[in-house]
């Protein structure tokens, strides 16, 4: 199957922290579409993109933002696609603010949230969601898990 996943970030300065998400998706042959858009500086762009995301072929949206970190919530308010929030470090309290902002969503507007700067895990979560109906992705995920197992060496 062909999948497309949006990776949104609030600022171009977030690119290095969100790069592992794109690399992880590419490993599973999932097309990442990386964009910069801010819940505060370009709310109309966020709304327009998000409202048409499903019709434009996206399967999920990963959002990375720091400090107030409203991007994932603003996106989730406009779509029924899975939204995964990546709170980003920086600012006065080094990511705690963005973690709390991302995880504290009102009832009915869920945002799955990963660890601060955890964009790779956000991408893996998307792959796991897509694997529910895709046996090829299941096989790839299982192989990846096996790669993570420490090799047992003899003396």
CATH code, domain carrying 29: 3.40.50.1970
Residue 155 lies in a domain: no
Q: What is the pLDDT of residues 53-101, one digit of tens each?
A: 999 999 999 999 999 899 999 999 999 999 999 999 988 899 999 999 9
What average pLDDT does range 116-144 have in this prediction?
97
User: By mean pLDDT, which of 71-80, 127-136, 142-151 is the weakest?
Assistant: 142-151
Residue 151 confidence (pLDDT): 73
Domain that holds residue 128: 4-148
pLDDT-derived band at 150, boundaries 50, 70, 90: confident
Q: What is the pTM of this model?
A: 0.94
- Count the domains in the chain: 1
Q: Which of 61, 67, 19, 70 is CA-nearest to residue 42?
A: 70
Q: How many residues comprise the chain?
A: 155
- Could you give the C-alpha distances from 149 to 11, 143, 145, 153, in angstroms and in order? 36, 10, 7, 12
Query: Cβ(59)–Cβ(130) under 8 Å?
Result: yes
């Amino acid at each position: 199957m062909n999948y497309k996943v949006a990776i949104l970030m609030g600022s171009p300065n977030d690119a290095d922290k969100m790069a592992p998400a794109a690399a992880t998706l590419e490993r599973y042959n999932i097309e990442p579409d990386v964009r910069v858009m801010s819940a505060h500086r370009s709310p109309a762009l966020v709304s327009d993109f998000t409202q048409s995301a499903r019709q434009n072929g996206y399967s999920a949206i990963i959002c990375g933002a720091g400090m107030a970190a409203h991007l994932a919530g603003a996106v989730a308010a406009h779509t029924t696609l899975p939204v995964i929030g990546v709170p980003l470090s920086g600012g006065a309290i080094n990511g705690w603010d963005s973690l709390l902002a991302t995880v504290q969503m009102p009832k009915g507007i869920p945002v799955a949230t990963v660890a601060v700067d955890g964009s790779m895990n956000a991408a893996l979560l998307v792959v796991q969601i897509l694997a529910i109906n895709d046996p090829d992705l299941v096989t790839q995920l299982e192989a990846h898990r096996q790669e993570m197992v420490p090799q047992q060496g003899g003396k």
